[in-house]
Copies of this chain bind each other. A is one copy, B any other.
């Protein structure tokens, strides 16, 4: 990777405050590579050789069992994935697939682990990143175990609205079938849940959703700060399951 490309990695909270030396060690042997859409980068069960950093595009993280498949998270720039597997040098638990043409940095796992050993501050940053990811998964589990399809969809729309600056119009960031799987339902059920929301002032036109009555939507969603990320925010969502980092960052730095 070129020097300027490596600097791009500083957009990650993980490398934000890293010393030049740590960044050099951590990214030794890293590659920057574009991938076409619909490309499988990693299959679950495979050893995790390198940490992936998504610089541009979209990557779906999914898993399968017994012939069926579910989307666990979607990475959006700039974010990384399979950090946990890298830290433990373990097999990946998810598969990764590009949804669109994506620019991805691949950092050898050894380099990351070496940097953790050498730089306590970096190891701390890794720990905070993983803590955020863990909490994202806890939120996701609560979402799935406690809420029904309508409530999950309603909260998802509120999350998008918050991420998009609280406008009345939100744009669905990926195909509805992907959203359906992410929300733990079938595409048919998502479609029906959308039309059920039609009576509550939600208009859907392709990927564009218009929210005419936020309080009606909230009445269905019953949002909860311990599950959702609807709070006013400064940064964009980077991935559905590791959005915790900025949430705590934000608290500390008062949205600056």
Q: Which of B45, B141, B244 contacts A88 (CB 8 A)?
A: B244
A2 at interface, CB cutoff 8 A: no
Whether the pair A131, B87 counts as a contact (CB closer than 8 A) is yes
CB-CB contacts of A131-146 with B at 8 A, as 1s and 0s? 1111101111110111
Whether the pair B132, A131 counts as a contact (CB closer than 8 A) is no
Q: Which of B70, B142, B247 contacts A63 (CB 8 A)?
A: B142
Q: Which of B72, B84, B147, B244 contacts A90 (CB 8 A)?
A: B244
Whether the pair A63, B144 counts as a contact (CB closer than 8 A) is no
A119 at interface, CB cutoff 8 A: yes
How far, in Å, is A107 (CB) from chain B's closest CB? 16
Interface-side segment among A52-60, A160-168, A200-208, A221-229: A221-229
How far, in Å, is A126 (CB) from chain B's closest CB? 5
Within the oligomer, what is the number of copies of this chain? 2
How far, in Å, is A226 (CB) from chain B's closest CB? 5
How far, in Å, is A84 (CB) from chain B's closest CB? 4
How far, in Å, is A143 (CB) from chain B's closest CB? 9
Q: Which of B93, B135, B145 contacts A84 (CB 8 A)?
A: B135
Given A84-B138, A116-B127, output 15 extra A-B contacts at Cβ < 8 Å: A63-B142, A65-B146, A88-B244, A90-B135, A91-B226, A93-B226, A116-B124, A117-B120, A118-B120, A130-B130, A133-B134, A134-B134, A137-B138, A137-B140, A141-B144
Q: List 6 A-B contacts (CB under 8 A).
A: A85-B135, A90-B244, A93-B139, A117-B120, A127-B127, A130-B133
